[in-house]
């Protein structure tokens, strides 16, 4: 049985342009073929960047998305593009983690999801932020 990929727009394209504005519509999903069972998906990138809304300095971090899918799974290339779109976004670390969670929950309606941001130290303090959703 083949997976349904008919609604995916980014996967398989070469030369795609990276977005410059945050837009949750970038996120794509595909049907979960195993929706009758609980299993966990973990996606991690250590290339996340956003901007401090006060100083304009970059905040570098690792973003981890862990979720138990229901009917839909998040397509990884679209997640990459979505996270990349924050590079010019002035936002606090606490805000960005909660915003990512809200956008992903809205898009794929998981059974459970946790988004964790581990941000590199600036001013001598590293900040880790986790936000969770559970139906």
Q: Which residues are catalytic?
A: 52, 59
Q: What whole-number distance in Å separates Cα of residue 127 and Cα of residue 114? A: 16
Q: What whole-number distance in Å separates Cα of residue 114 and Cα of residue 109? A: 13
Q: How many CA atoms lie within 13 A of 72 on its CB side?
A: 17
| DSSP state at residue 57 | -
Q: CA torsion sign, 115 to 92 to 127 to 83?
A: positive
Q: What whole-number distance in Å separates Cα of residue 82 and Cα of residue 20? A: 10
| DSSP state at residue 33 | T
Asked if 65 contacts 115 with a C-beta cutoff of 8 angstroms, the reply is yes
């Amino acid at each position: 049985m083949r997976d349904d990929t008919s609604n995916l727009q980014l996967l398989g394209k070469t030369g795609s342009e990276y977005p410059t504005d945050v837009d949750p519509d970038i996120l794509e999903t595909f049907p979960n073929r195993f929706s009758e069972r609980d299993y966990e998906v973990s996606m991690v990138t250590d290339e996340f960047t956003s901007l401090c809304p006060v100083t304009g300095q970059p905040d570098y971090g690792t973003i981890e998305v862990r979720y138990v899918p229901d009917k839909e799974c998040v397509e990884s290339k679209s997640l990459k593009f979505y996270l990349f779109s924050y590079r010019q976004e002035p936002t606090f670390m606490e805000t960005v983690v909660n915003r990512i969670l809200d956008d992903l929950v809205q898009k794929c309606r998981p059974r459970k999801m946790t988004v964790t941001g581990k941000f590199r130290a600036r001013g001598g303090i590293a900040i880790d932020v986790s936000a969770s959703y559970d139906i």
